[in-house]
Structure 1
Amino acid sequence: MDLAPFKHVLMLPGVRPLALLMFFARMPPAATGVVLTLHVAVTLDRGYAAAGLVGAAGTIGMGLGAPLMGRLIDERGLRSMLALSVTASAAFWLTAPLLGYWALLVCSFGVGLLGVPMMSIGRQVITALVPQSRRRVAMSVDSISVELSFMVGPALGVFAATKFSTNAALLSIGGSILVAGVLLYWANPPMVHEDEVVGGPKPRIFEWLRGRIVGVLVVCAGATVCLAGMEVSAIASLEHIGKQSWLGVVFFAMCAASIVGGLVYGGVKRAPSVLVLLVLMALLEIPVGLGDGNVLLLCLLLVPMNLMCAPLIAASGEHISRLAPSTARGLALGLQGSAFTVGNAIGAPIAGAAIDRAGAPAGFVVAGAAGLVVAGIAGGLARKPVADRVTMAP
């Protein structure tokens, strides 16, 4: 593994300050799920089922909204999108403490639909700042940044909600999104690389949204089927032995393994394809249930599959940015976010159903098997005539 490519990418103009900004900008969205859950279940005293509905409404909104916001970036530019999205997001989070349950449920969908798609913005910015020859490393940097945000953001959200109140945590999220959005608006980073041609007629969506790129989007969905199933199963495993307090340690191990995987992926000369990464993730998830009842063994067994997480996110982002035309990259990366959302919506329920029937080990097995099925579907979609092929391997 050679870390020199990371240094070269971080030395490119604008990369380091924007990577740092996106790290902080992604922490508030990473904390929203746990803070909303605590607010609805505890502060509003509506229970966890009601909290789950609010979370589901926001997730559906994000799945629909990410491509719309990406298309707005393509058509009108980043600042136009931020003016709409930051206003809607800040208005929701700063008034959320005043809302009752049903208003919160409806507005959660609305903020998901119009909210700032920080994940896809970060990928598009890094694509615009880095030449194509270095995008694999750049996407690895971005995926590592995402993992760090998810290590820090939820922990800060829980701290604010438990140390002060969920109202304070909601206000903190709103203020943070507002500050991050204003800084992004002021920075106004490029969304298309200077070497890419953006003039001429724009291709229609179905001229590029087919075959290989659809296969990559399906891989993205498969990845979050595995990851969502893994998270639900890990929680169930710890709850079964009465060690929920160790959940933070287990999630830290997952994120740390993913970061290591991202470093390896960005540093190697020949990297595996997105399909291979998904197959490996799914296969390595199946035996994780052997750690049920033992926190240390569970952490150790979770490491191999999570080594594939950041590389898969990086590889899929790299391929989508290359396969989609530069004039539609915002829409394409927004669709990637939607694919991640769809996979999450599938993975958690199927793992939960398996857990209810046969315990936490079954959740890992079913999620891993589902990931293999999705990989097969993606492989089928990727098979095109030779003249139309664009490789799914880096």
Structure 2
Amino acid sequence: MSPEVRTNMNIKPYRTALALPGLRSLLLVAVLARIPLTATGVTLTFHVLLDLDGTYAAAGLVGAAITVGAAIGGPLLGRLVDRRGLRPVLMLTGLAEAVFWTTAPSLAYPLLLPAAFVAGSLALPIFSVVRQSIAALAPEDQRRPAYALDSMSVELSFMIGPALAVALVTAISAQTTMYLVGAGIVAAGAALWLLNPPIRGAAEPVGPRRRVPRREWLTPRLLAVLALSTAATLVLGGTDVAVVAVLRASGEIGWTGVVLACWAVASLVGGFAYGAVHRSLSPLALTAALALCTIPVGLGGAHWWLLCLALIPAGALCAPTIAASADAVSRLAPAEVRGEAMGLHGSAVTVGIAIGAPLAGAVIDARTPLWGFVVTGALGVLVTLAVLPVELRRRRTADTPLPTTTPTEHELTTTTH
């Protein structure tokens, strides 16, 4: 088989997915809309440090307030999308974002902290809404490449957003950057409002929604997928901090951007490969592989280029793991509650990052940078082992043949007559 034929085979799933009506424009708006959202953490950190003369701990508390608010508000906003539709939620959250980012630069720290929590709980739900819309636009057999594209677009946003925020803070000021980031978020909400992507598929129920009790859809298997999502991002959050610690300890902190970029590129390549394969990979297997590949990263050595090489296997599993978990949630949740389910998925991802970064930092402070990779990776493995019985039970149920009965003579006679 020629390389050209193999290439065509690899990109065919993407061509098919991008040919779906509305998906191309949704992904384009998504990657642009997420850039200001990914810049919020860095921007607020610089604001607290430079404008308010605060400490890193104080800046961390503001970030934690937004994170906790987002984890609580995500499922609630998703439920509101399910019941009231997308545009009312976008108007509500867009207004909340506008109020926060226009007033936050002038708030004293004691007021900024609770305001950050409220802003987090009413944050623009771009991540969950885009994933919900993908499930509406793409049939189940085409969702894997669609979610792979979405996961790769997230990587691109995280590569651009924080770096752009740092450049703006350096060139202008932290306070002005806050206004620009806020304007970008409000513009993102307006763009999504104008696009108004569907949240229900063509064959899915519309109009008055059937109330689906949580006990019917919040099953052990869905809870397992959410746990795996938390474990995966816990590993990623810990890796982020551990990379900085390793390079700082070796006196190569200036190479941090290059190493993190290498990690992100590996994730993009892995995401592309995941969407191109014809066989689905379970979130359990991908999360376990990600965690196992993270544990030995610190053994790559003190030099930045060795760390880049050591990060490639784990990096290649980042985007596929997040894409697989989003795909699994879209399949397990009924259409009537998919917004709430995607909100829970977003909360699980947020909580994982919120736990992983400080956990790795505490471990590194107590031991060495290597242990940041080891502990977060080991925790990821433990979570996969904890949810393994759920997966094994599902497979046993799927493999159990339906009982067959032999018709009796009376049944045959009744059927004949």
Shorter-chain TM-score bucket reads over 0.9
Is it true that 1:117 corresponds to 2:125 in the alignment? yes
Cα distance in 2 for residues equivalent to 1:210 and 1:93: 38
Greater mean deviation of Cα atoms: 358-367 or 197-206: 197-206
Cα distance in 1 for residues equivalent to 2:61 and 2:212: 38
Cα distance in 2 for residues equivalent to 1:197 and 1:23: 29
> How far 1:23 moved relative to its partner?
0.6
Give 2:311's match in structure 1, choosing from 302, 306, 314: 302
- Residue identity matched to 2:107: L
> How far 1:350 moved relative to its partner?
2.5
Is it true that 1:222 corresponds to 2:224 in the alignment? no
SS class of match (2:212) = coil
Cα distance in 2 for residues equivalent to 1:386 and 1:349: 36
- Please tell me whether the aligned partners of residues 292 and 360 of structure 1 are also in contact (alpha carbons under 8 angstroms): no
- Over 3 Å counting, the alpha-carbon distance change for 1:122 and 1:168 in structure 2 is same
- Over 3 Å counting, the alpha-carbon distance change for 1:94 and 1:245 in structure 2 is farther
- Residue identity matched to 2:77: M
- Residue identity matched to 1:33: G
> How far 1:385 moved relative to its partner?
6.2
- Residue identity matched to 1:265: Y
Give 1:134's aligned residue.
142
Once the two structures are superposed, what CA deviation does each residue of 1:152-207 show, in whole Å capped at 9, x if it has no partner?
A: 11111111111100111101111111111112112211011112234663210121
Give 2:36's aligned residue.
28
Give 1:262's aligned residue.
271
Is it true that 1:346 corresponds to 2:355 in the alignment? yes
Is it true that 1:251 corresponds to 2:264 in the alignment? no
Cα distance in 1 for residues equivalent to 2:352 and 2:388: 17
Greater mean deviation of Cα atoms: 140-149 or 375-384: 375-384
Cα distance in 2 for residues equivalent to 1:194 and 1:385: 29
- Please tell me whether the aligned partners of residues 216 and 320 of structure 1 are also in contact (alpha carbons under 8 angstroms): yes
Once the two structures are superposed, what CA deviation does each residue of 1:12-60 show, in whole Å capped at 9, x if it has no partner?
A: 2111111110111111110111111111012211111110010011110
Once the two structures are superposed, what CA deviation does each residue of 1:253-274 show, in whole Å capped at 9, x if it has no partner?
A: 1111111011000001113211
Is it true that 1:321 corresponds to 2:330 in the alignment? yes
Number of corresponding residues: 390
Cα distance in 1 for residues equivalent to 2:88 and 2:260: 36
> How far 1:319 moved relative to its partner?
0.8
- Please tell me whether the aligned partners of residues 216 and 316 of structure 1 are also in contact (alpha carbons under 8 angstroms): yes
Give 2:296's aligned residue.
287
Cα distance in 2 for residues equivalent to 1:389 and 1:206: 21
- With normalisation by structure 2, the TM-score equals 0.90
Cα distance in 2 for residues equivalent to 1:388 and 1:105: 49
> How far 1:237 moved relative to its partner?
0.8
SS class of match (2:295) = helix
- Please tell me whether the aligned partners of residues 35 and 157 of structure 1 are also in contact (alpha carbons under 8 angstroms): yes
> How far 1:4 moved relative to its partner?
1.4
- Please tell me whether the aligned partners of residues 210 and 336 of structure 2 are also in contact (alpha carbons under 8 angstroms): no
Give 1:160's match in structure 2, choosing from 158, 168, 177: 168
Matching of residues 1-394 of structure 1 within 5 Å: 2-198=10-206, 201-384=210-393
Unaligned residue ranges in structure 1 (runs of 5+): none
Identical aligned residues as a percent? 47
- Over 3 Å counting, the alpha-carbon distance change for 1:345 and 1:385 in structure 2 is same
- Please tell me whether the aligned partners of residues 20 and 138 of structure 2 are also in contact (alpha carbons under 8 angstroms): yes
Cα distance in 1 for residues equivalent to 2:64 and 2:45: 11
SS class of match (1:190) = coil
Cα distance in 1 for residues equivalent to 2:395 and 2:258: 47
- Residue identity matched to 1:101: Y
- Residue identity matched to 1:11: A
Cα distance in 2 for residues equivalent to 1:169 and 1:182: 20
Cα distance in 2 for residues equivalent to 1:101 and 1:175: 22
- Please tell me whether the aligned partners of residues 225 and 283 of structure 2 are also in contact (alpha carbons under 8 angstroms): yes
SS class of match (2:151) = helix
Cα distance in 2 for residues equivalent to 1:109 and 1:281: 31
Cα distance in 1 for residues equivalent to 2:37 and 2:31: 11
- Please tell me whether the aligned partners of residues 22 and 137 of structure 2 are also in contact (alpha carbons under 8 angstroms): yes
Cα distance in 2 for residues equivalent to 1:113 and 1:149: 21
SS class of match (1:39) = helix
- Please tell me whether the aligned partners of residues 214 and 381 of structure 1 are also in contact (alpha carbons under 8 angstroms): no
SS class of match (1:315) = helix
- Residue identity matched to 1:73: V
CA RMSD for the aligned pairs? 1.6
- Over 3 Å counting, the alpha-carbon distance change for 1:363 and 1:172 in structure 2 is same
Cα distance in 1 for residues equivalent to 2:161 and 2:100: 19
- Please tell me whether the aligned partners of residues 74 and 344 of structure 2 are also in contact (alpha carbons under 8 angstroms): yes
Unaligned residue ranges in structure 2 (runs of 5+): 1-8, 400-417
- With normalisation by structure 1, the TM-score equals 0.95
> How far 1:239 moved relative to its partner?
1.4
- Please tell me whether the aligned partners of residues 211 and 384 of structure 1 are also in contact (alpha carbons under 8 angstroms): no
